[in-house]
Structure formats: structure tokens, C-alpha cells
Amino acid sequence: MLSTQQTNSKGTFRKKSEIVYIRWERAIAYVDSKVNFEVMAALVGNGAEITITGKDAKGKAFFKEQGKVSGGKYFGNVNLPDNLKSPVTLTAELVKYQVTKTSLPLTVMPAITVSSLKWDRSQVRRKEKVGLTGRIVGYKGVSAMLTIFKFSEMGAHLPITRIPVAVKEGKFQTEWNFFFKGSTKVIPTAEEQKKHGDSYSKPSYFFCVSDPPSAVKSNLMEFVDSVNILVINPVKDTQYKVKTADDNVSVVSPDAQQWVILKDIAPGRGTFKVAIPDAKK
């Protein structure tokens, strides 16, 4: 808006409230998926009422939502039903200010089916290369994006990394170099978990297809670790008792080089002490 005013005079400049934009988070989406959108408004107060209406290419309304603007923004999401005529648009209306804005069109593709997401093993060790496979039926693209998560019993799964994959004839196959990030010292032991009514669980990982978006998850893959203990000045024929983080107890003997080596054990803190036979107590 341009305003002109001569010198040595008084004037008034008033800018009208407006919707700066309403936009989809992506340009292409799939039937039965959820798509986020964002609205930005200018010169409207917090709590201003806003109405969002979605229409397909035939002008048929398939979505309507009312809400309130906060900090000049409004966020929402739309579930795309299977009876839409692509493309679809959203229109935002600020009722009080009598202004509207329509989004760019969103192309809606037929529904896809994600299945058979699998790791090539159930347990993984440090620095191992693991395989990931799966199927994406009905997908028209040539590449997809996978996201690997660290599993949480509480549902707060932690994203670890994203991996682009090629999709050919509805299938994909790729590899990931596993790396355990952080310290195993912070993993609660079975004894600590019992105090809270919980049980020990190994760090576990799963993956899903994040683009195109899908809620299907792979099987869980557990992280198993190892420990090497050097026994200094050992007593001949002495055995040692090792208790791992999951409360599993093993009685072991050092090898010829005086090392006690345990593989594929529960990650976390454990104990190591001389095993005294019952007869000698």
C-alpha cells in the first residue's frame, strides 16, 4: 500500500488488516494422509477468529475449521479423504476484518500402502552395518525418505537420522552404519528400574517411511554390547562373577592373557567380583 503526503501538512496513514499467506507444508500429498498448513496474518489482534475452508477441484467442500489467531499465526492440519478431486485448496477468512486468502493448490495422489518394513537382524552391535527393506505400493515417486528412531516406552521416540532410498517396483533396500551415541552409564539398570515398578530394556531402534508419510513402523532392533576386563595379578583357577545391567549373572574365568571378555550383553552398568564357592564361605 502506497501513501503520498505533501510537506508542511498533516495526514493519516492506515494499513488494513490482511492475510499475508495461507500455505501447505508440501506441494503433493496422498489420500488418507494428514497435511499441515500455516496462516500468517498482519495487523490483527491475538484471539482474532479465523475460518479455514478446504475445497477440491470441483468446488466441493471437504474441510472446515474455526480457530483463533495467536501471534499473527494460525496452524492446523487436514485429513485428506479418498473421494477428493485433485487438486485441492484452502481458503482462510478473518471474519471480523472481512478479508480472505486462498492457498496454492495441493496435488492429491492415490493412497499408498507401506508394508514389510524390516531390519535384517534383531540385535545390533557397535559399528555394524545393518540392512533395511520395505514395500511402498501405489507410490509414483522414485525415491522416499526413511527416519530411524530410538524407541521409547513412553512413546517419546527420538529421531536418530534420515536416509533417502530409491524405490523400484514398489520396493526399497538400503543399509545403515549403526553407531551408539552417548554413554551406556546413563541406561537405568534392572535394579534401578524395579524401584519404579519397571523392568530393564535394551536400547532399541525402529524405522518408518517419513516421506511419503506413513504411520507403519518396522520391527525393533536391540543394541547389545560387550565388555573386556583385564585381571591384574590373578589367583590361579579363580573364577569371577559378573552381573550385567539386566541382572543376569555369569561366572567366568580369564583367558590365557588374563582377560575376561563378555559379548552380546545388556548395555549399561554392571559389577565384577571374585566368585567364592559355597563350600568355602
| Cβ neighbours for 4, distance < 8 A, ≥ 6 positions apart | none
Residue 1 has pLDDT above 80, yes or no: no
Tell whether 120 and 219 lie within a shared domain: yes
Question: Residue 9: inside a domain, yes or no?
Answer: no
**Distance between CA 244 and CA 238 in Å, rounded?**
20
**Distance between CA 267 and CA 255 in Å, rounded?**
22
Taking only the tens place, the pLDDT of each residue in 22-58 is: 999 999 999 988 999 999 999 999 999 999 999 999 9
Question: Residue 159: inside a domain, yes or no?
Answer: yes
Tell whether 46 and 91 lie within a shared domain: yes
Look up the domain containing 230 and give its range: 225-280
pTM above 0.75, yes or no: no
Residue that finishes a domain, picked among 109, 137, 155? 109
Phi, psi of 277 (to 5 degrees): -60, 150
Q: What is the pLDDT of residue 238?
A: 87
79 neighbors 112 (Cβ within 8 angstroms): no
Residue 236 has pLDDT above 90, yes or no: no
Name the residue among 86, 75, 30, 39 with its Cα closest to residue 210.
30
Could you give the number of structural domains in the chain?
3
Tell whether 136 and 218 lie within a shared domain: yes
Q: What is the pLDDT of residue 12?
A: 61
Question: Residue 77: inside a domain, yes or no?
Answer: yes
First and final C-alpha spacing in the chain: 93
Question: Residue 195: inside a domain, yes or no?
Answer: yes
Question: Residue 4: inside a domain, yes or no?
Answer: no
Tell whether 32 and 127 lie within a shared domain: no
Q: Which residue has the cell 524405490?
A: 167
Q: Which DSSP string corresponds to 193-245?
A: HHTTT------EEEEEEEETEEEEE---EEE-EEEEEEPSSPPTT--EEEE-T
Tell whether 179 and 104 lie within a shared domain: no
Beta pairing partners, 36: 77
Tell whether 44 and 92 lie within a shared domain: yes
Phi, psi of 141 (to 5 degrees): -80, 170
130 neighbors 218 (Cβ within 8 angstroms): no
Q: What is the CATH number of the domain that holds 141?
A: 2.60.40.1930
